[in-house]
Amino acid sequence: MMNEFSYKHDFPILNQSIHGKPLVYLDSAATSQKPQCVMDALMHYYQHDHANIHRGVYELSVRATKAFEDARHMVQKFIHAEHLHEIIFVRGTTEAINLVAQSYGRSRFKPGDEIIISEMEHHSNIVPWQLLAEQTGAVLKVIPVSDVGELDLEKYETLFTPRTQLVAVVHISNVLGTINPIKEMTQIAHAHHVPILVDGAQALPHIPVDVRELDCDFYAFSSHKAYGPTGVGVLYGKTALLDSMPPYHGGGDMIETVQLHQSTFKKLPYKFEAGTPNIADIIAFATALRYLNRIGMEKIKKHEHDLVTYATEKLAAIPDLRMIGTAKNKTGVFSFVLNNVHPHDIGTVLDHEGIAVRAGHHCAMPLMERYAIPACIRASFGIYNSREDVDALAAGLLNVLRMFA
């Protein structure tokens, strides 16, 4: 590992033992741990600035409003959005995708219209489109995944017809670690005059994201996977599309006027932000993004590439281990099975070694079916992980094999 890359000390939760062993946290794809600066930002807001935002004229409300809107600026800069009003705060990637499904899709789609998704999608980028299909009569078409865990782009292009209305695809698979060629997929979609939504939940904390370079129409992501608090997410959308969409939720702060029989709504971004938002956690999320910027996303990408290379070699040496997903272009997510050992048993044994991994279907049951497995183990890396953590995982797996021999 590159000696100069060491940020574990910024994460207090990692300085503990589990079952008498040093904690090795390898579940960042589910949720990342939080640096001290993010927790400090939460505490500072509640101790010094807490008030409701946008409508108060007193000092606390003015300070809270400024910090909240500064967070929107931070997100805009981080993903290189063209306009501030293209940043919509929601509760997470799941709500962002549902917002597009119900606001954009439900008002447009008709029976027989088509939505293209892929076999590697998280349930959050499958179920909302299934619900929309039931509501409108639209149908889902699916991009297949190869044995190594890559999307079939030739097949993808053949799925487009005059009835295709939307593409919804993941940037980085939460199971395979595959980094999909989103820019190329966007170019193909736009050649057919079809907008594309990208689930960026796994991408934002691991690789630089530039929505203008990608040219995607929607991009959704969550705070908690990017070293920020839970309960916060962002929907980026191009101005023309967001302007054309009706409000998703109704309530306070998204209205201009309310009468008993009709209302008028604010302009972007506020027409999609009904009610009191998660003020403190949104402000703390901006702190997490500043923290990532201080480290540098290119430096993070390089560090994780080193871990991927090292872990690939170490895991390949484990007897009876079958890797799920070996794409050439991937990030620090390793899913695998051990012959004749149930993933939950593996996870339990590793836990007693202080190693936290995920066991199950990872909210990707169609992908499990594609690889003919009911579940698998997933080890996923963050900026606090090192080659020593990979060594601990490999040693733990060898211990599993000894126990179940």
Q: Which residue numbers are catalytic?
A: 363
DSSP-assigned beta bridge partners for residue 338: 321, 341
Q: Beta strands 376-380 and 358-360: pairing type?
A: antiparallel
Q: What string of DSSP letters covers 210-262?
A: -HHHHT-SEEEEESGGGTS-SS-EEEEE-HHHHHHSPPSS-STTSEEEE-SS-
Q: CA-CA distances (angstroms) from residue 336 to 325, 343, 388?
A: 8, 9, 20
Residue recorded with tokens 């595959």: 178
Q: What are phi and psi of 276, to 5 degrees?
A: -70, 125
Q: Cis link prior to 247 (omega < 30° from 0)?
A: no
Structure tokens at 232: 């916060």
Asked whether the beta carbons of 185 and 153 are under 8 A apart, the reply is yes
Q: What are phi and psi of 46, to 5 degrees?
A: -70, -30
The SS3 of residue 4 is coil
A 10 A CB-CB count for 274 gives 18
Asked whether the beta carbons of 209 and 300 are under 8 A apart, the reply is no
Structure tokens at 154: 């030739």
Percentages (nearest 5) of helix, strand, coil residues in the chain: 40, 20, 40
Distance CA 211, CA 88 (A): 14
Amino acid occupying residue 236: Y
Structure tokens at 258: 């309310």
Distance CA 183, CA 177 (A): 17
Asked whether the beta carbons of 253 and 274 are under 8 A apart, the reply is yes
**337: nearest Cα among 299, 303, 378, 301:** 378
Asked whether the beta carbons of 209 and 200 are under 8 A apart, the reply is yes
